[in-house]
Chain A
Amino acid sequence: MFDSNFFAEPRDLIYGALTGLVFGFLLQKGGVTRFQTIVGQFLMRDHTVMKVMFTAIIVGGIGIYGMVDAGVALKMHIKSATLWGNALGGVIFGVGMALLGYCPGTGVAALGDGSKHAIYGILGMIFGSALYAELHPWFKTHVLQVSDLGKETLASSTGISPWWFLAALAIGAILGFMRLERWELRRGRGVKTSAA
């Protein structure tokens, strides 16, 4: 179908399948496959999502930029800074995520965790992508092309070393999360990891 092999190389598929297993496994262990956790984050009652995400960003970033600096030929995957699209898309995404209680990845993983309503969320996601595909031409002209800075990073667009950003993120996260943990302990609302 569609002028190409229907399937990618077997190696790609096996790598993808293995990555998916680990990814889904970790999301479930992190508790982010639960509606309660995601909505709890937005209602500022449970900060698991922030803790998981920022830790992943910092650890991931240190490794990736570490490899780049060590001279490893690494293919980067930076998406174009179509800033209005990123911002407006982010706002729409946030509203959808609050309503569904999952993002695409955690929604799919939630199925395996036992969430029945996630099925309807996934059907909605498929519908949403079809709808976007129809309206893409309009958004391309009126939103995406208004400001497209290309594959810029915080570092490349400011001329500041990526390590300053990573250091600031790491220090901010360590101090912020230490305060948050103390506060959660005082309120007796710590994440239920220790109880399990």
Chain B
Amino acid sequence: MTDLFKKARWSPYLVGTLLGVLSWITFYFMEKALGTSTTMVKVAGLAEGVVSESHVRNNDYMAKHLVGTPAIDWQFALVLTMGFGAFIAARLARSRFSETVPEVWAARFGPSKAKRYIGAFLGGAILLFGARLAGGCTSGHGISGSLQLALSSWTFLLSMFAAGTAAAFLIYGKEGRAHV
């Protein structure tokens, strides 16, 4: 058992199985489904609320997530501890690393940290915009929704994979592909 924890990578099938079992547990014992992107809306709304509470109240979308409902909820707690869970996993196997500019990115855009940070920011913004429009992300739709066979989630999953593949080939091209 300890040997397993010391392994840097587990079989993707084992990890997938355990994520499936984790979903059984959250559905059955917690009446919840794995998800993460709603929390980003809450964080954004809380930040806006510090400056102007009325702005949050007057925005239907923000109000739906923050008015009359707790700001810090089950999913918020989950997002807060996820990084720590990954940290423990990496430390147990001594596989934690430090990355500022990924190799594939550098192969295409050079070693500039600033460029990568801007790219990451833009990517994150586009990503969450899409998640909110779709009503979920890779966890809420991709795993939780798809396992319930939701029509919405399978529509999301297929378009996400198709667009991600096309975008990656356009963004990283041959230079990037040679470095994966």
A residues contacting B by CB (< 8 A) are 1-8, 12-33, 35-36, 39-46, 48, 51-64, 67, 72, 74-83, 85-101, 103-118, 120-134, 136-137, 139, 143-144, 149, 151-155, 157, 162, 165-166, 177, 191-193, 196
Contact = CB atoms under 8 A, between A and B. Distances in A.
A90 B150 contact: no
B100 to A, nearest CB: 5
B176 A196 contact: no
Contacts, number: 567
A106 B137 CA distance: 11
Contacts of A166: 149
B149 A154 contact: yes
Contacts of A120: 117-118, 120-121, 124
Given A121-B123, A130-B48, A24 B20 contact: no
B98 interface: yes
B150 A81 contact: yes
A26 B121 CA distance: 25
A3 B67 contact: yes
Q: Identify which of A15, A32, A129, A152 gathers the most chain B CB atoms within 10 Å of its CB.
A: A129
Given A100-B126, A105-B79, A108-B82, 8 more contacts: A23-B78, A26-B18, A28-B89, A30-B10, A42-B167, A53-B143, A90-B156, A129-B44
A57 B29 CA distance: 19
Contacts of A74: 27-28
A71 B69 CA distance: 31
Contact of A98 (B99, B164, B180): B164
B136 A45 contact: no
A191 B12 CA distance: 9
Contacts of A149: 151
Given A109-B86, A134-B59, A89 B148 contact: no
A22 B27 CA distance: 15
A83 B12 CA distance: 30
B123 A124 contact: yes
B85 A109 contact: yes
A85 B79 contact: no
A2 B29 contact: no
A156 B81 CA distance: 36
A32 to B, nearest CB: 8
A113 B86 contact: yes
Interface in B122-149: 122-149
A124 B60 contact: no
Given A91-B163, A104-B40, A112 B86 contact: yes
B12 A55 contact: yes
Given A86-B134, A131-B125, A126 B22 contact: no
A30 B139 CA distance: 15
B151 to A, nearest CB: 4
Given A57-B143, A193-B10, A118 B45 contact: no
B81 A17 contact: yes
Interface in B4-55: 7-13, 15-34, 36-37, 40-41, 43-45, 47-49, 53
16 contacts: A12-B73, A17-B81, A35-B105, A56-B147, A77-B27, A86-B155, A90-B156, A94-B163, A98-B167, A100-B120, A101-B104, A101-B105, A111-B86, A136-B61, A154-B151, A196-B7
